């Protein structure tokens, strides 16, 4: 159905950008995890997750994002989010995702910060 999440990504040097489009539930979360892990396996050290085309992330989706974040931290990598709606931002803060990952308004800001950290 139309709301189901589509994930696309692009590698730029050490950084991979992932874009989501639609509802992030367990399937959407797993889709993101697959894409993220494949980049990590190929040597990417920083991930930027751009959610600007997503309006709902349910708690199961977020719990999967937390697993991705832990795996990135295990490998001393960086995970940043951008393009969150106020509601998604609020939910990320409630669940503590915001304590361990960085959240930026725009993709450019996220990329700039992440590039500095992995340089």
CB atoms within 10 A of CB 79: 23
Smallest distance from another protein to CB 62, Å: 7
Helix, strand, coil fractions of the chain, as percent rounded to 5: 50, 30, 25
Candidate segments 32-40, 42-50, 59-67, 76-84, binder of another protein by CB under 8 A: 59-67
42 interacts with another protein by CB under 8 A = no
115 interacts with another protein by CB under 8 A = no
CA distances in angstroms from 74 to 29, 81, 86, 91, listed in the order given: 19, 18, 29, 24
One residue of 4, 8, 38, 106 binding another protein per CB under 8 A: 4
23 interacts with another protein by CB under 8 A = yes
Q: How many residues does the chain have?
A: 119
DSSP per-residue letters across 70-103:
HHHHHTT-EEEEE---HHHHHHHHHTTHHHHSEE
Residue 31 to residue 36: CA distance in whole angstroms: 9
91 interacts with another protein by CB under 8 A = yes
Candidate segments 12-20, 43-51, 82-90, 109-117, binder of another protein by CB under 8 A: 82-90
Q: Which residues bind another protein (CB under 8 A)?
A: 1-5, 23, 25, 27-28, 31, 55-60, 62-64, 66-67, 70, 85-87, 90-91, 94-97, 99-100
């Amino acid at each position: 159905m139309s709301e189901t999440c589509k994930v696309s990504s692009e590698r730029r040097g050490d950084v991979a950008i992932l874009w989501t489009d639609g509802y992030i539930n367990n399937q959407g979360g797993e889709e993101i995890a697959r894409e993220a892990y494949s980049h990590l396996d190929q040597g990417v050290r920083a991930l930027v997750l751009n959610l600007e085309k997503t309006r709902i992330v349910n708690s199961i989706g977020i719990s999967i994002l937390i697993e991705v974040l832990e795996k990135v931290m295990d490998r001393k990598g960086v995970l940043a989010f951008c393009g969150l709606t106020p509601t998604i931002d609020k939910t990320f803060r409630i669940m503590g995702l915001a304590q361990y990952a960085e959240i930026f308004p725009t993709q450019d800001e996220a990329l700039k910060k992440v590039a500095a950290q992995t340089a």
